[in-house]
Structure 1
């Protein structure tokens, strides 16, 4: 059952039946949904662009951005609705000036939202009804400079770089946003209940594994402010010989000054080097080795239940003896699919991540 409300969270009605629903949630970025329902005046009136869909058994809300009409295999008219999670509302704002942050990545995200959506100088930019409570997550402080960029893109970039999850939390009346870290449920730890997905344990129906390194880079030279021999440079370097894969990043947009009060003052060489390395790290993460493992989970089995034993963003163990694959990986995407009331679940995991926090810290500071 799906509930519908308007942009002001006023309850409008219920969608009690549908032929197809895809409810896709992502860890570090916004999710999406697709709904197919019979064409009726009720459905047409309820499912207007901008209206919000939510479920009692899920705390993320989706807003409608697309409507279309088609025929199913039996020739029946269907109304097709496409949605994004309301996290994508942040795509409607840009950073209107230059900001220099020296803070944790999660606090930097909160500051950006505060300055652009919650308490901007121009009150016309306020997005009403938003709440972003403070909840400290990370401890490492970074140097970060950004100006005149899309807010959502910067949020998702920081979430990807520092393995942070972002989601909307909607209870049918109130909306807030939450940053969070998934739980380590791998076989290597003993603090939390373990989660192992494997055909051997009869909780995986099918799987698809891919890996590629055609775009992989592990060394970056970043060039910032200045000209010719005076240009400021920083690098992150790994590997040698054929294992070394180099990338150049032009970061001339990173200013060598910052505003203190009403005055522009020079940024110290140490701070500016950290800014350049932060930019380099973000770019390197765009060129990581590609490893993907999609698993269709058997929702009828009680030994490993999504939403009870493991959640989006958790790090779990994947084991496939046929492929010779054992990997500890984060669940980065979860698709709940309903076809004529029959549910299936497909989860996607990223590359192996147990040492990523240490890797990020080492690369930025090296």
Structure 2
């Protein structure tokens, strides 16, 4: 598989047909990533070691691009260039949600309204991300009411995605020369339904080489105390999931003072929420934060590439599939949360993570800082 190199104006400026290895890590609830190692030839250096932004795509999929974030030259046992590139969704990390903003309605429209207000048609024209447009909806019928204040745009978007079990990506439309912000939800291919053909992974089906299972409840929280505006006894505090009791109740305090009942929207118009509307916003904030403290229940599997199910043909990132481990007596029906594809001189290798995404150390640090 060759790799194509584009500039930000959609011009293809080079091809890499020989590399040490290329690791594509696709994620359902986070930016995907490419780690590429190539020989440090002059051609590769001219393509990759530049001040200008560069985009890398697979020759087999030129719509999904990876923006080079880090380029490192190494002179050790051999001369190499190491590239770390993030999926085009990383563009949303280049903007913040300016001031307090609130949108209600279909979840796809709400995500896109935050992007539109802060990166496509912001009040300040200098905040526009060039050539970024909104794609068509996938008809995900979920209605939401969400508000954020002075928050990284991508962090807010991924929080909503985790909460409503959806995802987003930015794709390259080469004909129109546009970057298209798109939302999607994986298809249910598990044995819990009979509409779509089933995808089942188990050693009994000879399609799993290695399988590990994690069930981690250490950071699980069930009930949130959400504190909004006001001081001392006059501070507005609501409880989310207050009906849970006993050993199943695990509490967390959430400071939501950034949400105010009176604020100026992105058009500088003053908005005043009713007490019920404000409490609804606080409840949504609590639900969003609780989604970050789920029980982690994950299968990680090395997939037999010659099995009956082929990734990106019979199932895709975000699809819900069935995993079985007969030795443990465990069956889960969960989404493909991470797909790690490695191309190297030995061939192609695929590893999948199903279920709740396992937080990295950086994820835990960020969560603790909120």
TM-score with structure 1 length normalisation?
A: 0.90
1:100–1:258: 8 Å Cα contact kept in structure 2? Answer: no
Residue 155 of structure 1 corresponds to: 157
Q: Distance in 1 between matches of 2:23 and 2:313?
A: 20
1:196 equivalent in alignment to 2:200: yes
Residues matched between the structures, number: 349
Deviations 1:8-28 (A, max 9, x none): 211101000111110111112
Which residue is 1:107 aligned to?
109
* Matches of 2:9 and 2:334, distance apart in 1: 38
Query: Residue 45 and residue 348 in structure 1: after superposition, are their counterparts in 2 closer, same or farther (change >3 A)?
Result: same
Deviation track 1:214-249 (CA, whole Å, cap 9, x = no partner) reads 111101111111223332222122432222111111
Judge which range, 139-148 or 22-31, deviates more.
139-148
Q: 1:300 to 1:228 in 2, by over 3 A?
A: same
Instruction: Decide whether aligned partners of structure 1 residues 300 and 76 sit closer, same or farther in structure 2, where only a CA change above 3 A counts.
Output: farther
Say if 1:152 and 1:325 are closer, same or farther in 2 by CA, change over 3 A.
Answer: same
Q: Tell me if 1:52 matches 2:55.
A: yes
Identify which range, 97-106 or 329-338, moves more after superposition. 97-106
Aligned equivalent of 1:38: 39
Q: Do the aligned partners of 2:224 and 2:251 also contact (CA within 8 Å) in 1? A: yes
Aligned to 2:251: 246
CA separation in 1, counterparts of 2:97 and 2:306?
A: 46
- Maintained 8 Å contact 1:137/1:181: no
Aligned match for 1:350, one of 316, 334, 355: 355
Q: Are 1:91 and 1:152, in contact at CA under 8 Å, matched by a contact in 2?
A: yes
Matches within 5 A, 1:274-353: 274-301=280-307, 303-340=308-345, 342-351=347-356
Distance 1:214 1:11, change over 3 A: same
User: Are 1:212 and 2:216 an aligned pair?
Assistant: yes
Mapped partners of 1:78, 1:228: distance in 2: 59
* SS of residue paired to 1:216: coil
Cα RMSD over matched residues? 1.9
Secondary structure, aligned partner of 1:210? strand
Cα deviation 1:80-135 (Å, max 9, x = unaligned): 11100011011111122221222232212111111111112222211112121231
**Runs of 4+, deviation exceeding 4 Å:** 258-263
Task: Please state how far the C-alpha of 1:47 moved relative to its aligned partner.
Answer: 1.2
Task: Map Cα deviations across residues 307-326 of structure 1 (whole Å, 9 max, x no partner).
Answer: 11110000000011012210
Listed as ranges, the gaps of 5+ residues in structure 1 are: 353-366
Q: Would the aligned equivalents of 2:119 and 2:129 in 1 still touch at CA under 8 Å?
A: yes
**Secondary structure of 1:149's partner?**
strand
Alpha-carbon distance change, 307 to 140 in structure 1, aligned in 2, over 3 angstroms: closer
CA displacement at 1:267 relative to structure 2: 1.1
Alignment of 1:105-184 (within 5 A): 105-135=107-137, 137-170=139-172, 172=174, 174=177, 175-184=179-188
Q: CA deviation at 1:46?
A: 0.8
Measure, in 2, the Cα distance between the counterparts of 1:341 and 1:125. 45
The normalised TM-score by structure 2 is 0.89
Structure 1 distance, partners of 2:204, 2:10, is 45
Q: In the aligned structure 2, how far is the partner of 1:351 from the partner of 1:32? A: 19
Q: Structure 1 residue 265: deviation in Å?
A: 4.6
Note if contact 2:88-2:171 (Cα within 8 Å) is conserved in structure 1: no
Match among 207, 227, 230 for residue 226 of structure 1? 230
Q: Alpha-carbon deviation of 1:263?
A: 5.3
**Aligned with 2:285: secondary structure?**
helix
Runs (5+) with no aligned partner, structure 2: 358-370
Distance 2:138 2:74 in 1: 47
